[in-house]
Structure 1
Amino acid sequence: MTQTTSYAFGAGDVFLTSAGNAPALVGTLQDVEIDISASTQMLYGQNQFAELVARGEGKITGKAKTGKIDLGLISTLYSGQSPDLTGYEKLVKLEAHTIPASSSYIVTASHITGGITDQGVYYAAGGQLTPVTAGSEATGKYSVNLTTGVYTFAAGDEGVAIFLNYTYVATTGSQMLVTNQAMGVNPVFQLFMQQGATAVAGRQNVTMRLYA
């Protein structure tokens, strides 16, 4: 007798393959859902009830949830583009400094590769400072040079502890560049899924391959 049922434990495994790219495993898989559906079409004549009922348009859709952010997988399979491996924008949060006692009252961010983007300055004791243009600094107000990462404060904030928040371009890691492509451009990939209980004697796996 041929066994046609199986027990599923866990989310299984999913591999995706697109043209020009190596097969990619969807890592830390949490959930997979495949929906197969079709419409029902009815043929009517002059009578009230249909003379023929048949299946019409059909479709197969699916989705998978993963707990692992894989930039290469997202980029090549969803946008059809390779990730840009030139670094990425990294956030520095609550970088502690004390405004020095000097005539310039400047603080320099610890990371300035490729310039920075200011994300706000806060007093360590609480409260946010206001960004202004260079030369307009006053107590509770500061200016910043985004190229050099130099923050300038006023004499009224001398010796005060602050936190800097900013982003800079890290030289490691990768970033995903999505271009505005013409409508109709649609990456196509093949999906292979396996789910089952291979460790249980007599149980079978359930596998599925969707070619496009």
Structure 2
Amino acid sequence: MENLGLLLIFWYGILHAFGPDHLTAIADFSIGKSKKKTMTITTLFAIGHGLTLFIFAKILDTYNISESILGYGDIISASVILAMGIYLLYMVFNDRIQLKKHIHDGKEHIHIWFGKNHEHDNRDTASAFTVGALMGIGGVRGMLVTLGMVEANSVDMTMVLAFSLGVMVIFVGFGSVILYINKNLLNSKQNLKRVFATAGVISVVVGSNMLLA
């Protein structure tokens, strides 16, 4: 029964990860990135998400917190998605998303960056972890309901790890889809603007719907 319970929790993690808010956030961070950075971003997002879920699950398992307070987690998640969408649209309409092609070792490479100057930094990977952690707050309530149904309201690390693993499977898999888009669609400035504008609009719609729900 224990193994069956963990399998159910793993499956719920998979279903949870398919939420439009999660996939939208990953897309916003991963579009235009290299293969290595895309995989790093999706993995860090999943780790941040799982870590927050575990921490808050233990807190809520110990202390009785009202549903109204838990609802603020959903507001935080929605606000993050909405803010990212507005930011992407701002960058598109102010021509602050750049693309440059060059040949290196006989192969064409495309560099995409935000702003006027091309800088190499790790801010996007750090931000992916932070956003994953923030959005984990919004998923705690649903996770606790599922864990409680399976294991009589007792939350331990094994259960949360099973849930987080299910989440990570989908996040990394979706990162592979973004890699395909990066490789096959982001080959011109026009396509670049279209893809980022689409991601921005979707983020605004998803975030707004979550806030209004």
Q: Do these two structures clear the TM 0.5 threshold for a shared fold by scoring above it?
A: no
TM-score (norm 1): 0.22
Rg comparison, structure with higher value: 1
Q: Which has the higher contact order (CA 8 A, sep 6+)?
A: 2
* Structure (1 or 2) with the greater strand fraction: 1
TM-score when normalising by structure 2: 0.22
